[in-house]
Amino acid sequence: MPDPLHMGPFWRALIDFFFPPKCLLCGKSLGELPDDRPCPLCLSAIKFFSHPRCPCCGLGFGDAPGEDHLCSGCLTDERYFAQARAIGPYEGLMAEVISRFKYQGASRLAKPLGTLLAAYQDPEFPFSRFNLILPVPLHPRRLRQRGFNQALLLARRISRVHSIPLDFTALQRTRLAQPQTQLSGAERLKNIRGAFEVLRPAAVADKKILLIDDVFTTGATVQECAKVLLKSGAKRVDVLTLARTL
Ligand SMILES: [Zn+2]
Ligand SMILES: [Zn+2]
């Protein structure tokens, strides 16, 4: 069986005949559309952050009128990342798809979700700014349990689409922190301190790094990653995730 992502036109046609292209998010037939994207209905069900928002962490302030302004978190806490952005809030279809992607081993969702993330457009956050992409690493034990690092699958797609080099070994997760879900923001920061290590500082030195993860929750994880990367000589670290919890 050829690699389904790189098969020739004959195999493609044969497989399309028996298995018509379906939306990889909802399973509805796509007809003539290529199958590496969500169907128009799914796309319309995904909520996107817009203005006004926090220029630092990208948090959207909903439909409230007004100018962009720093959120309370960015006003009070030290931020190690330069900017963070998420496509939209972690709710509805987006939340459902991400949890399928992560916990049901649905690595076939990597391509549509990676494509969605790579299509992110924001004049204040151009992909051309970056010369290195890093996924937030999983601890080796977690990686064995899950079988794949969802952040790496997303990062790989962005690296291909935007021709930015990807490095998934320079930054490592060396300590397995206790599960974060029950912890508050401050507790998460403490819990995750010292969990990451830059194994090859030369690989990140002077680089403008795009750090990729699936969900931005309190930001504690990406903050800690950005901190160790800057300490190892990175020029700046920005964060892009599929969704952000509110
Ligand atoms: Zn769909
Ligand atoms: Zn903010």
Q: Residue 90: exposed, middle, or buried by beta-carbon count in 10 A (0-12, 13-18, 19+)?
A: buried
Measured at the alpha carbon of residue 107, what is the angle toward residues 105 and 111, in degrees to the nearest 5?
155
Q: Which amino acid is at 25?
A: L
Question: Closest Cα partner for 60 from 52, 94, 123, 243?
Answer: 52
Ligand 1 center to 245 CA (angstroms): 22
pLDDT at 62: 82
Q: Cα(64)–Cα(41) distance, rounded to whole angstroms?
A: 26
Cβ neighbours around 77 below 10 Å, total = 16
Phi, psi dihedral angles at 129 (to 5 degrees): -70, -25
For residue 223, give the ligand nearest its CA.
2
**Ligand 1: centre distance to CA 219 (Å):** 29
Separation of CA 230 and ligand 2 centre (Å): 20
The yes-or-no verdict on residue 110 having pLDDT over 90 is no
* Residue position matching structure tokens 């070994």: 169
Question: What separation in Å is there between the alpha carbon of 154 and the centre of ligand 1?
Answer: 19
Ligand number, closest to the Cα atom of 28: 1
> pLDDT tens for residues 135-170?
999 999 989 988 899 999 999 999 999 999 999 999
Q: Tell me how far the alpha carbon of residue 110 lies from the centroid of ligand 1, in angstroms.
A: 15
pLDDT single digits (tens) 163-210: 999 999 999 999 887 777 777 777 877 888 889 999 999 999 999 999
Q: How confident is the model at residue 5 (pLDDT cuts 50, 70, 90)?
A: very low
- Asked if pLDDT for residue 125 goes beyond 50, the answer is yes
Cα 109 to averaged position of ligand 2 atoms, centre (Å): 29
Is residue 37 very low, low, confident or very high in pLDDT (cuts 50, 70, 90)? low
Q: Separation of 5 CA from ligand 1 center, angstroms? A: 20
Please state, in angstroms and rounded to a whole number, the distance separating the CA atoms of residues 116 and 38. 8
More confident residue, 47 or 21: 47
What are the start-end ranges of the E strands in the chain? 84-89, 132-135, 171-173, 196-198, 208-216, 236-244
pLDDT digits (tens, 9 = 90+) for 47-97: 888 899 999 999 988 887 889 999 999 999 889 999 999 999 999 888 988
* Ion ligand 1 neighbours, Cβ < 5 Å: 23, 25-26, 28, 39, 42
Interval between CA 1 and ligand 2 midpoint (Å)? 48
Looking only at the bridges linking them, the beta strands covering 84-89 and 236-244 are parallel
